[in-house]
Amino acid sequence: MIAEGTLSDEFKSVVEACERLSGIIYDHAETRKNVLDKREILKNIVKDNASCPHCASNEYLKYMALDVNEKGWKFNKYKCRRCNISFVWNRPNNPWDMLAFIDQLKADFMLKIMNNQVEEEEKMHSLEMIKQLDESLSTLKPVIEQSDLEAKEMERKDQQVSTMIAEFTKYLQIQKIIIS
């Protein structure tokens, strides 16, 4: 009907609306894919470099499960096939928990220093460690915050697109009833 030019103005507007909606959907799908890819890369940034507590090797480790502590942090659980033991590697496996873990580590170091529980040499080492932890936090925190903002924006856009599709579907059903 479009090629023949016999399409009425009402149908032309419906076709244009469909084309605009499909463009919006494809753009959103591309944006969604990019955000999810970035978050997946961010999840894989933190490597726990686990090693068996008995043999101190990581050659024979097999990932078993995910363990969550009382603070809600996620840790990897491993089994050493050489020693035949299972253990939880007490370091976070994702950047979100890593931020809280680094803050906790800093607080522990500061507490030891404040309570004079360390010797002078260890105190200097602890202060250097705190400095390194601050540097790590300053690079990791903005990246995570940006990723979280993008994810929230994506979820908001998901809701908008879902609502738009539902409203357009209702409109098309109404038009079908009117035409019938």
For 52-63, how does the pLDDT look when each residue is reduced to its tens digit (9 = 90+)? 999 988 888 998
Q: pLDDT: is 121 or 151 the higher one?
A: 151
How far apart CA 114 and CA 93 sit, in angstroms, is 30
Please tell me the predicted confidence (pLDDT) of residue 3. Answer: 59
> By the 8 A CB rule, do 96 and 144 touch?
yes
Q: pTM here?
A: 0.69
Q: Residues 6 or more apart from 144 whose CB is under 8 A from it?
A: 42, 95, 96, 99
Please tell me the predicted confidence (pLDDT) of residue 179. Answer: 63
Decide if pLDDT at 85 tops 80: yes
Please tell me the predicted confidence (pLDDT) of residue 31. Answer: 94
Over residues 51-77, the mean pLDDT reads 86
Please tell me the predicted confidence (pLDDT) of residue 129. Answer: 83
* Sheet (strand 61-68) strand order: 61-68, 74-80, 85-92
Q: CA torsion 60→66→68→72, rounded to 10°?
A: 120
- 91-101 in b/e form (b: 16+ CB < 10 A) is bbbbbbbbbeb
CA angle 83, 84, 90 (to 5 degrees): 85
Confidence class for position 29, pLDDT limits 50, 70, 90:
very high
Q: Which of 19-33, 56-70, 138-152 has the lowest mean pLDDT?
A: 56-70
SS3 state at 34: helix
Confidence class for position 2, pLDDT limits 50, 70, 90:
low
Percent of all residues in the chain with a pLDDT value above 90, rounded to a whole number: 31
